[in-house]
Structure 1
Amino acid sequence: MKIVVCIKQVPSSEARVQINADGTSIESGELELVVNPYDENAVEEALQIKEAKGGETIALTVGSDKAEAALRACLNQGIDKAMIVKDPSLQGGDFLGTAKILAAALKQINPDLILLGKLSIDEENSAVGPALAELLGLPHVTVASKLEWIDDTSLKVSREVEGITEILALSLPAVITANKGLNEPRYASLRGIMAAKKKPIEAIDPTGLGLDPNVVGAAGRKISILKMEPPPPRAEGKVLQGEPQETVPELVRLLREEAKVL
């Protein structure tokens, strides 16, 4: 079985984000970049499937040289192979452009199962997985919380939707997007990190993918960000000093009149 995990490199959730001068994107120059957290669940699921059923695991991404660090992190965890499509003319597109690039690469790889996170924490559009399945003509299930194998070519997928659990069956090849509850991603071991140093990152030749930069790159965007704004700064907190019998009435008043939680 060949399993491909499509990953994305995103700013760390702990990073201090700054918006660029024209207000349409994030300044990423000095940001700490990590593997998208939901993609980490997809990576873990691929590793667990390989441990149970055998096969080959591949991490695939679209990006610049910086994105190789995210692929290296996947190799450290135990992924067998890493592949990247990096061509400046293909970058800067929207989710559909990204899906088209991934789909073109996946047609060459021909996997049995495609896994990715349910969304990326930087854009949160949840659209790449379904778009990828549509482009490849494959069945798909989103926000998976549990996978159970029926046989070697079909499985049951559980997903939590509006307070209920749906259980769906689908046949391979297929696309599945991972939710946080699917598993607990492992930490890379020292042995895994040392083994990963010997694994190369394969650059996919974009000229062989048949992609038009005017369709999948920045020029082909169908969705544009008009403006980004940081959240308003928090108001300074108030410290009440004195004995409890003196401060409690004031605390109750503040909770009722200002915080409006009583």
Structure 2
Amino acid sequence: MTRTPQGELFLLDSPLTGEVRGERSLMAFPFFALSKNAWMKSLAYSTPSVSIEVRPSTKGVATIYDKEIVLYIASLMASKMEDGEDVSQDFVFTAHDLFSVTGSNHSSRSYERLADALERLQGTQIKTNIEAGGEGVDGFFSWLSEAQLKYAKTTKGERRLKAVKVRLCDWLFRAILHDRQVLNYATAYFQLGPIERRIYEVARSTCVDGEDLEIDLATFRLQIGYQNQLANFRSALRAIAAADTIPEYQLRLEETEAEVDPAAPKAGRRAKNSRVIISRRLKQLAN
């Protein structure tokens, strides 16, 4: 529902009344850094069919937590489309509603993090061969081409944040508007850690029609966007599989010992052949 705030000249697109949703390509591929802190290195993902390059701004690459803002905007847009409203690339919403939807507290620190996140989303540069709305982009774009914090003065002369105004990039706007590959998110997503969030997204975008996802560990690491060593990723997945906290999906890590290559360095040590298997939970399939 669009409302006019008292004493303001702009319209609000919040509150979000529908589900949290995201564009399928952003679920399937690693566009964001798996970090809460600033990630200052470039990210890259490449397969025979998909290439992604992400360059940091002075505040770093947009993180998986900054992505919450993108999901919120995508959800606002999808809800407006479902209601038959006209949509544009400009969105105005309250930080209060954003925090309520994503489960963030309403502390002053959250508002500071919001400003930093908006700056990273506007400053991060992305290049990909993934087409959106039937069009490709040969060059870099940012998630937000514009991001502003709208303030009002109190009677004491203090600034109070009234709304956030953003302009969504052409690439993502076309994808949502024309491709219509928008999927809902489980509400528990926002309580997950960075790796668990990416596992959920990959599973949600891949496990269609009840089919399992089976993938080797090294390939899965690339798709998740995990930047540390494979051995560390294996340890992390073991812990995640044991905790079994991925909403709607169950993750298994199957490990077998590889054959020993006598000619290889450190002969006699057996490496692990590891495969990741993700299944939709049976109770979800029954619904």
Q: Which has the higher contact order (CA 8 A, sep 6+)?
A: 1
Q: Under a length normalisation based on structure 1, what TM-score does the superposition of the two structures give?
A: 0.27
Pair member with larger Rg: 1
Q: Under a length normalisation based on structure 2, what TM-score does the superposition of the two structures give?
A: 0.25
